[in-house]
Amino acid sequence: MSGVLASRRNRLIGVLLVATIAISALAISSARSSLSYYVTPEEFAQEIDPVGHRWRVGGRVVDGTIVEEGGRPVRFDIAGEAGERMTISYPDGAIPNLFGPNAFVVVEGLAAGPGVIDASSVIIKHEDEFLTGTPTPTS
Amino acid sequence: MNVLATVGASAVLTALGASIFAGVAGVAAVRTRRGDLGAAGRRAVVVAAIFVTLAIGTLATALLRDDFSLAYVASVSSADMLPHMKWAALYSSQAGSLLFWTWVTAVLLAVLALRTLPRMAWGANHAVAASGIVLTAFLVAVAFLASPFEVSRFDFADGRGLNPLLVDRGMLVHPPMLLAGLASTAVPFVIAGSALVVGRTDDAWIRVARPWVLFSWVVLSAGNFLGAWWAYTVLGWGGFWGWDPVENSALLPLLPLTALLHSMMVQERRGMLKSWNFGLVLAAFALAVFGTFNVRSGLVASVHSFAQSEVGPYFLGLVGLTLAASAGLMAWRTPRLRAEGDFVSLASRETTLVVNNYVLIAIALVVLGGTLFPVFSELINGSRITVGPPFYNQVAGPLLIVLITLITVGTVMPWRQGATATLVRRFRAPVLVTVLAGVVLAVLGMHDPFALATTCAAVAVVTVTVREYAIGARGVRASRGGGVASWPGAFFGLFERDQRRYGGYLVHIGVAIIAIGAMASTVYQQQTRASVGTGESFEFAGMTFTNEGIFQRAGVANGIDSEVIVPLSVSRDGEVIDHLEPGSRLFVNFSGQPMTIVGLHSTLTHDLYAFVEGWDENGVAQVQVFVNPLLAWLWIGGAIYIVGGLIAFAPSRAPSTVRDEATAPAAARA
């Protein structure tokens, strides 16, 4: 047996190094299949060939664009900070709490065309910025 | 002038002054070796804790009195909120949660200064200095970056009210538990840091730090369980863990803490893993501070991130400083951190514990890597790429199964070296039981490899642990001589005999049960979606669900405007077996942003879980229904885990702790 492996500690370290390589390989292959690009609507509009890739887009739900079927929202528009709009179709999947006009949402799904995403999930990014509600000043 | 704002802000500043004094006095005491300076520093830490307590008491008073002249109160509370919800408002937002965190740290460091440091023969003054520095770092943030005592710029008759997501009884316990668990990691950090600076690299620091590590670990574990329970019963998506960045931040420090509880034993028994153990304490604290930064920086998009603020970069700086200081200290002390011996055999408990540590840290790195993936990808190629839950499940899932298997191996393996005959004798029964269970389950139709592996690993843990209890209880009965104790009496006697060991075994059983509950409710979850009008029914999982007619009821408090309920009766073979009331909650100040009310009926075999996605004016509702098998066992296992942890943590009545160096009056200085 070679000198390095004479110590039991070094043999254990060797085994754990091999395990590390295996875990890293597993992590890389798993990451590949669950990647999605996080962009704003403005950045999405700049993409040359968005169709067929997975995207996560963060934006604010535009008031008056929510289309409901049987009381459940299935399609809505979101807008970025510069006002770039895109259409989100969301036929199934859970509607998150606090979803509604002006809510900031992060949608994830496949691009179906320029400015259109078929979302597989919608989450709300909750903010605690002051004064988004309507408290009434007394003075 | 606003009295409460002035009192609160002054209390924070006074506490900051006391912390700075403690830090300076501690350093001076180390330099001059003057005991009175150290004592003054300890008292300053206590004074700081008293004033932070005054500050948080002031904020609570302002909330209870509806003092909306404080911007914080106006933004998180409203006049119709019930007192218990105002308690939740205390830590519901950025500034309040930071104050709460700082308060927990200050109180725990004061307990350390009062009870442990005066009796510590080494490093007490270093610990005072470190306490002062840590407290100063947090109080600077509370005083200057995110103060809850800022006065509103307008006069408000009423506040905005708590964010609707947070109006739930679950909010009363899980956030304070998590915050307390994260904040408490500062204490082991202070103790380990002092030991490193002093050069006490033997296991003296471990005996001082262990109760604090156990405390952090129990509280943080409880916080994570309660958080999962809240996500399940309130968020309304049918699951309990979504690998959200903030969930990950709460989980991350728990992994090195768990590793530490096991590797500390290796250092005590065998004098190995010295630098590793220091590294784990430092990592737990750095990860806790990182979590604070992560939820406040807007670094990663999350369900419950706070608003972005200047606190973020400040905490990133603190994480960097913590890591740099820790790495520097450990590099400096490397010559003293050599192991006292090699493994006698690789078939030994210490080897198993090393592998257990390796797996726990591998999981931590996977979770950390996944959480930070968008940040790295943006640095490397300019686009933010996120990884979804499948990544975590595929990588962490197998590692968790390995971890559970290691519980069995570690329980059975003897220290130092296991003779082959001993190993065969000890492993024979559990391996037989596990293989038998696997074959039976496969024949019964469990073909999912993940489910099968999890179940077998859990069965093995329960088998060897029950055997350990039986062997121990037999020993207790035998040792009582003529007056043989009853089996239950002997069982409880075990916890008195060695509470750490037998409490720890209880935690292992809890983990096995959690694994079963989590696996069954994930792999065998059934789900359907239906559109039902009043009086209409749909079939699902052998049951009939009938919409008994949507109704609306007015809200009474907490900013709730009204609730819309879709009552569902559940029947099997024509007999009504259950009744669910999912619905939607509408808020006065958050119009158009409804909250789900989950309709849940939990039994030992399965949970029925329903929520409403929408409805129209004709009374037709869109509902989703889940059947989650064995999910209740997740919470039962969690409860067993926590009870086991508390048994291990409870102050020992056995005389063995007398040898604890921290309590001995005089000991040699290293």
CA atoms within 13 A on the CB side of B475: 12
Taking the Cβ of residue B159 and every Cβ of chain A, the question of whether any pair is shorter than 8 Å is answered with yes
Residues in chain A closer than 8 A to B593 (CB atoms): 97-100, 103
- Cα–Cα distances in Å, from B533 out to B236, B551, B579? 22, 12, 17
Tell me, what amino acid is at B553? R
Amino acid identity of B203?
Answer: D
Contacts of B620 in chain A (CB under 8 A): 70-71
Please identify among residues 298-337 of chain B the ones whose CB lies closer than 8 Å to any CB of chain A.
301-307
Q: Is B569 on the interface with A (CB under 8 A)?
A: no
Of the candidates A12, A20, A34, the beta carbon closest to that of B346 is on A12
Nearest of B598, B171, B300, B589 to residue A123 by alpha carbon: B300
The candidate with the shortest Cα–Cα distance to B132, out of B243, B56, B286, B29, is B29
Query: What span, in angstroms and rounded, lies between the C-alpha atoms of B27 and B352?
Result: 41
Q: How many residues does chain A have?
A: 139
Name the nearest CA neighbour of A98 among B166, B84, B1: B166
What residues of B are in contact with residue A119 (Cβ under 8 Å)? none
Which candidate from A19, A38, A135 shows the least CB-CB separation from B74? A135
Please state, in angstroms and rounded to a whole number, the distance separating the CA atoms of residues B546 and B540: 11
Chain B residues lying within 8 Å of A96, measured CB to CB = 235, 237, 303
| Structure token digits, residue B127 | 């610990």
Instruction: Write out the two tokens for B104.
Output: 């927990």
> B400: left (phi > 0), else alpha (psi -120 to 50), else beta?
alpha
Which percentage of chain A shows pLDDT scores above 70? 86
**Angle at which helices B94-111 and B274-297 cross, to 10°:** 150
Q: How far is CA B42 from CA A4, B51, B422, in A?
A: 49, 15, 52
Nearest CA to CA, how far is B301 from chain A (Å)?
Answer: 7
Q: What is the pLDDT of residue B659?
A: 39
CA-closest candidate to residue A37, choices A17, A15, A52:
A52
pLDDT exceeds cutoff 50 at A139: no
Give the separation between CA A96 and CA B611, rounded to whole angstroms: 11
Cα distance between the two ends of chain A: 86
ipTM of the assembly? 0.72
In angstroms, the CA B57 to CA B54 distance is 5
User: Chain B residue with minimal CA distance to A15?
Assistant: B355
> Which positions in chain A touch B388 (Cβ < 8 Å)?
34, 36, 108
B159 contacts on A by Cβ (under 8 Å): 135
Which pair of tokens denotes residue B606?
A: 């399965």
8 Å CB contact of A33 and B94: no
Task: Provide mean pLDDT across the span A4-23.
Answer: 84
- AA letter at A109: G
pLDDT at residue B481, as a whole number: 63
B561: contact with A, CB 8 A cutoff: no
Are the beta carbons of A97 and B345 separated by less than 8 Å?
A: no
Give the closest residue to B450 by CA, choosing from B393, B391, B488, B492: B393
Residue of B237, B399, B593 with shortest CB distance to A99: B593
Interchain contact, A27 vs B156, CB within 8 Å = no
Which of B339, B383, B590 is the closest to A133 by Cβ?
B590
Contact A35 B387 (CB under 8 A): yes
3-state SS assignment for residue B628: strand
How many CB pairs below 8 A link A and B?
176
Cα radius of gyration rounded to whole Å, chain B: 27
Among B77, B91, B116, B294, which residue's Cα sits nearest to residue B178?
Answer: B91
Mean pLDDT per 10-residue section of chain B, whose length is 670 residues: 89 97 95 90 96 96 90 85 85 87 96 92 92 96 90 78 73 88 95 92 90 96 93 82 86 96 91 90 92 66 52 83 90 83 83 93 94 81 78 92 95 86 89 94 92 96 94 83 73 86 95 96 91 92 92 81 91 91 83 82 93 84 92 96 93 49 37
B475 to A66, B468, B484: CA distances (angstroms): 70, 11, 11
Q: Rounded to an integer, what distance in angstroms lies between the CA atom of residue B518 and that of residue B401?
A: 12
Q: Tens digit of pLDDT for each residue in A23-66?
A: 888 888 887 777 777 788 888 888 777 787 888 888 889 988 88
Q: What local confidence, expressed as pLDDT, does residue B670 receive?
A: 34
